[in-house]
Structure 1
Amino acid sequence: MDVAGDRRLLIHGFESVDHGDDESRTFPASATPLPLTTETSSPITSPPYWVQSHKRSASQVSVDSVLHGGITLHDNTTGYSDSNDACWARSVTIDEHAVVNGNRTGIGAFVVWNITIETLSGSKIHLRKRYSEFDTLRRNLLMTFPLSEASMPPLPPKGVVSKFRPKFLDQRRIGLQYFLNCILLNPEFSSSPVMKDFLFT
């Protein structure tokens, strides 16, 4: 029998052929479903300062969020976005430092760091800050955002004996630069009054 014009319906593994008359036949479908695959080629990597406690296993993810989490598209080239507007810095570099001497014996000497912040518009902000000002910034941010400690990297450790040695200063410079990049590239931190006080005082 020619079934080219027949209607076929696949229901629960059985194929039903409707010939257009009162007679219809149901038999197991010959096609087998393809196995489901999961994309694993591009895993998401957390930032290095993100603590292990933030990682969730697949069993912890809500089934509802998987079933109803539709794919959405966002046009980041035009339009207004609160988060994009809050992020105003492109990068931070600390290239050099200066040692400010105290009295003749060297007591009271301290290091000032020369900071360059490049904004998204291409302009640059130049700052000079001491380590203690970074320490105050971090403490004030933690008081303002008490639940954000895991996303805020620690400052490089303090030094008493070797604080003017070149190797120690270079390691401190790298740590301070990393800290400030993490803060300024976070929309919540970079738009806060605490950050503005650090920049303009």
Structure 2
Amino acid sequence: MTKLTIIVAATLNNGIGQHGHLPWRLSKEMQYFARVTSNAPEGSVNAVLMGRNTWESIPKKFRPLPKRVNVVISSNKQYELMPANATTPAAPVFLHSNLDSALDRLSHSERLETPIHRAFVIGGASLYRETLTLSPSSGSSVDRVLLTRILAPAFEQCDVHMPNFLDSKLVGGERVAWRRTSHAELQDWAGFEVPEGVQEENGVQYEFQMWIR
């Protein structure tokens, strides 16, 4: 069984991207992303699960994301994650042709050198949609969303949106109730101090939130 945590920065209208890139530049928010997805007890490691477009949106010098197991999903089984002449990557990286096989790998720690502590879904929109529709009664499902809510400006030019996970109709016949946690719960779960309340960076206002079900 693999419990998944979605981590995403989204506008009030659930916009998450524009022309294949983030429409905002928030270094402190990116530092939060890096820390929360990397923070694991000694002897274990976190996994980051992503689609091919998300993988390609990461600058080459930063991929695979260090200190995390990188799992990339692409329907192209011959997709080349790393150039043939690339040196040994600084972090484990695996290619899977579908979500089921990726989750199967994560649920069997014996297939990995280090046990998985937490598994994060980091994008893009289609993978968010697919994982959100996994039934909570199934072997693997999303039970937590780390949401950086972009409050202002509206970024109406976003051309990629994630599903509204608060819509209980997302998961077939099963009614799903999401609850926003307190900031203290977020901080306890993250394991480090997280800035509270509305943050402002480069003229963008945002807030760190955690939702669970």
If the length of structure 2 is used for normalisation, what is the TM-score? Answer: 0.25
Higher relative helix content: 1
If the length of structure 1 is used for normalisation, what is the TM-score? Answer: 0.26
- Whose RCO is larger (CA < 8 A, sep 6+)? 2
Please tell me whether Structure 1 or Structure 2 has the larger radius of gyration of its CA atoms: 1
